[in-house]
Amino acid sequence: MPYLMPALIGHRGVASEAPENTAIGLKRCKSLGIKWVELDVTQAGDGSLVMMHDETLERFGGRAERISNMDREALMKVDAGTWFSPVFAGEPLLFLEEALDLVKTLGLGLNLEIKVNPDLPVAPLVDAVVATRGLDALHNGERLVISSFDHTALARVAQQKPNWALGALYEGVTEQWAESLADFTPYSIHTDFETLTAELAAEIRAQYPLYCYTVNDPITFQRLLDKGVNGVFSDRAHAPDMRALVKAG
């Protein structure tokens, strides 16, 4: 499989410029020339697939509601923008089918991260994601990677869509990184950059593309490139100081 993702991927859209996982964030990515984005999808209590990183609404003004206790109607009333800036007041949450339509319209590549809600079973979430209209078209256009920290979720995706590119996520990659890959073959490995040694990077890169999160400064980015990392997820994927390193390489 060819390398799909570029060296700079917009983290949750472009999280330094617009509220994460929102339509306005995706449109901002397009206007800034970001080619690929990472977005989070999780499941609400009624099975709705909502673009959300967190398990609660605390980020949005300190609200304590858990997503697992909400339905689509309630989620549609959430203001997902004011917490970031009053400029974005009233920006709604996105649902997966809406996000995919917008990604396609904007011509973006997508790393879709499945955020398993600990309050809900994994299998229905994965099955619902896999069945969502639009993902096959992105896969066929080589513009889709599905990632998750939950490797049982990725194994379930692989059972249903064996040709989809999967990104195995790690909070901190260790020497035992490959032990969780027995049930599926990833396209790429994604890890926190802070614990990545040059030795581990070389070991992983001998087998898979390697990406790190969340990298927002050019000094760290350059150090990772020097270790052979293929790319990074960044809140500043549009920034000239970040892009200059890609052009220089």
pLDDT at residue 249 is higher than 60: no
Instruction: State the pLDDT at residue 62.
Output: 72
Could you tell me the pTM of the whole model? 0.97
User: Which uninterrupted H or E stretch holds 158?
Assistant: helix 151-160
132 forms beta bridges with none
pLDDT at residue 122 is higher than 90: yes
> H helices then E strands: how many in the chain?
9, 9
Instruction: State the pLDDT at residue 247.
Output: 74
pLDDT category of residue 66 using cuts at 50, 70 and 90: very high
**156 in Cβ contact with 164 (< 8 Å):** no
C-alpha–C-alpha distance, residues 90 and 85, integer Å:
10
Token readout for 63 is: 């609200």
Q: What is the percentage of the chain residues whose pLDDT exceeds 90?
A: 92
Question: Helix crossing, 218-226 with 240-248: angle to 10°?
Answer: 20
Q: b/e per residue, 90-104, with b = 16+ CB within 10 A?
A: ebbbbbbebbbebbe
Token readout for 232 is: 């990074």
Q: Within 10 Å of residue 213's Cβ, how many Cβ atoms?
A: 19
